[in-house]
Structure 1
Amino acid sequence: MSDVTDSPIGWVNAHVRRYVESGGSSGHRWSGTDTLLLTTRGRRTGLLRRTALIYGRDDDRLVVVGSNGGKEHHPDWYLNLQHDGEVRVQVGAEIFDARAETASGAVRERLWGVMVEIFPEYDRFRTRTAREIPVVVITPR
């Protein structure tokens, strides 16, 4: 996956570079939380796009939130995986292919609670937007 474009957001890009260059030994922990790298395929360009996200666990699955800081639009990575849910994930040194799907109903509510415990800012982000912030379940292949 050498032809991957990292997040254009400066501090996220620096985080991703540190994560990749250290083989996951630096960058997995960020501000007291665990982060992963998620690579999606661009829905318009077909290019591979990589970003860093806070994650939680639900048994053998990973959970991420498409908060976009509470903005009124979904983050690009989320729009990409809606188009193609086949993703690549790096957690620490481990890299694997996975399937990403949006949680709904009671599962979404339960996992939202899990993620708010990990990163309480999500509840504040929710008050900034009228959209339902997506909760995404990532199942390793």
Structure 2
Amino acid sequence: MPEAKIAPNLPDWMLQHVHRYLSSGGTEGHMYTVTPEGYPEMTVPALLLTTKGRKSGEKYLFPLFYGRTGDSYIIVASKGGAPEHPGWYRNILADPMVEVQVGTEHLQARARTATGEERARLWQEALKFWPPYADYEKKTEREIPVVVLDPVR
């Protein structure tokens, strides 16, 4: 299986985060400390998501904040409240099989978009690990997808 490329056009802070995560084998970078505008400093859990590019077919790696629900992980396709969905989300709509690294653990997962009551509940969980999602929601007309990564064993 070909090695994943770091997603193109990531901001510098994300690139540095990914490099630290990868170079340490996941012992560093799985918790990210940041001070978002208008918020106090916070430490947020981070994973690495690898998707298959919907156009290129190549594997791309994205650093994302996450939460847990049961044995699964939750991630949010916010793109900072941009009007369009992030590329990684469009990739998983085309192919929901993904690779995930959480700390030193590597796993295969199937991504799915939460809907209805599950989405409402998981959105509230996401606001706990990354409160700025509430600001992103106000900036955009789209419903920001909450994605569940169910491990494939």
Where on the TM-score scale, by shorter chain, does this alignment land: which range?
Answer: over 0.9
Pairs within 5 Å for 1:123-138 = 123-138=134-149
Question: Displaced runs of 4+ in structure 1, greater than 6 A?
Answer: none
1:30 aligns with 2:39: no
Where in structure 2 are there 5+ consecutive unaligned residues?
Answer: 34-42
Gaps of 5+ in 1: none
- Please state how far the C-alpha of 1:2 moved relative to its aligned partner: 5.1
Contact kept, 8 Å, 1:56 with 1:63, in 2: the verdict is: yes
Cα distance in 2 for residues equivalent to 1:5 and 1:24: 17
- Tell me the secondary structure at the aligned position of residue 88 of structure 1: strand
Percent sequence identity is 44
Structure 1 106/127 Cα, relative in aligned 2: closer, same or farther at 3 Å?
same
Q: Which of 40, 43, 51 matches 1:40?
A: 51
**RMSD after superposition:** 0.9
Q: Give me the whole-angstrom Cα distance separating, in 2, the residues matched to 1:2 and 1:55.
A: 25
Give the letter aligned to residue 26 of structure 1.
E
Query: SS in structure 1 opposite 2:142?
Result: coil
Amino acid aligned to 1:129: T
Deviations 1:95-132 (A, max 9, x none): 01110000000000000000001110000000000000
